[in-house]
Amino acid sequence: MTVDVEDYFQVSAFENIIPRDSWGKLPCRVEQNTDRILQLFADQGIVATFFMLGWVAERYPALVQRIVEAGHELASHGFSHIRVTQQNRDSFREDVSHTRKLLEDLSGTAVRGYRAASYSIGRSNLWAHEVLAETGYLYSSSIYPIHHDLYGMPEAPRFAFHPPEVPALLEIPVSTVELSGRKFPCGGGGYFRLFPYGLFRWAVRRVNQLDGQPCIFYFHPWEIDSGQPRQRGISMKTRVRHYLNLQRMEQRLLRLIGDFRWDRMDRVFLRQD
């Protein structure tokens, strides 16, 4: 179970209509939404991995502490949700190094994992794995092995693997289900809000039972917030992707938590206690 801790105005789909230099002037809802998630997880008795933006951590250090004190894993989502495809090796190194140090200083715990903004590690920038290993990360969950207009590396392995050039790092792709030789998403996000819950549950069970593998599920704090400010000037596709079924998300999430067993990424893949 993973949570990408970012606010509604920080998603890649809004980057052309909400400038980064305006973020500090917008009403933030990420703290209250993340606290709701922490309470939901506590009520259901599960722990998870929180991939946190450095921008959020810097403004809400007490939230960082609450995540760690509740027994969850703290991991990096980069500082300000800049896709790796928009960075070079040096700027990426600065981003992931700075964010890791910030999170560790605020939490007092080691940060081992990283997830790229919008799953933006793919065939054109696999050098990012080298940088992550060099800067102290043990794993990445930054590849989505599907076709998508914003991201995706469909030829990538479906399950956790060590990149040949960087054996010290483990890449843990977001989950897909394979049907007739094609990969279909079953890892969360907008797909979880779009597909009927029964279909999504079937796909997760198929990965568990047929493939014998754990599923990687992700969502964002803004996905449980149907009252968030609505953005104007966005395409119909973006509007549907972002706002579809927000009001149903929390109940669907409760069903998913009840139907499967969940844990932190480091415990499942790194055997960290």
Task: Render pLDDT for 189-226 as a digit per residue (tens, 0 to 9).
Answer: 999 999 999 999 999 999 999 999 999 999 999 999 99
**Residue 71 falls within a domain, yes or no?**
yes
For residue 56, pLDDT over 90 is answered with yes
Q: Which of 51-55, 177-181, 189-193 has the highest mean pLDDT?
A: 51-55
User: Taking each helix axis from N to C terminus, what angle separates 127-134 and 89-107, rounded to the nearest 10 degrees?
Assistant: 40
Report whether 259 contacts 201 (CB < 8 A).
yes
**What is the mean predicted confidence (pLDDT) over 127-149?**
94
What percent of the chain has pLDDT above 90? 93
Residue 272 pLDDT class (50, 70, 90 cuts): low
Mean pLDDT of the chain: 96
The whole-number pLDDT of residue 271 equals 79
Report whether 127 contacts 89 (CB < 8 A).
yes
The DSSP result for the chain, as a single string, is -EEEE--GGGSGGGTTTS-GGGGGGSPP-HHHHHHHHHHHHHHHT---EEEE-HHHHHH-HHHHHHHHHTTPEEEE--SS---GGG--HHHHHHHHHHHHHHHHHHHSS---EE--GGG--STT-THHHHHHHHTT--EE-----S--SS---TTS-SS-B--TT-TT-EE-PPPEEEETTEEEE-SBTHHHHHS-HHHHHHHHHHHHHTS------EE-GGGG-TTSPPPSS--HHHHHHHHTTHHHHHHHHHHHHHHS----HIIIII---
Beta bridge partners of 197: none
Query: How many independent structural domains does the chain possess?
Result: 1
Neighbours of 61 (CB within 10 A): 14
**Residue 273 falls within a domain, yes or no?**
no
The whole-number pLDDT of residue 95 equals 98
**Residue 99 falls within a domain, yes or no?**
yes
The whole-number pLDDT of residue 241 equals 87
**Residue 201 falls within a domain, yes or no?**
yes
Q: How far apart are CA 16 and CA 46, in angstroms?
A: 37
**What is the mean predicted confidence (pLDDT) over 116-137?**
97
**Residue 108 falls within a domain, yes or no?**
yes
For residue 18, pLDDT over 90 is answered with yes
The whole-number pLDDT of residue 251 equals 97
pTM of the model: 0.96
For residue 273, pLDDT over 70 is answered with no
The whole-number pLDDT of residue 184 equals 93
For residue 216, give its domain range. Answer: 2-268
**Residue 132 falls within a domain, yes or no?**
yes
**Residue 124 falls within a domain, yes or no?**
yes
For residue 9, pLDDT over 60 is answered with yes
User: The CATH number of the domain where 239 resides is what?
Assistant: 3.20.20.370
Residue with tokens 């080691």: 110
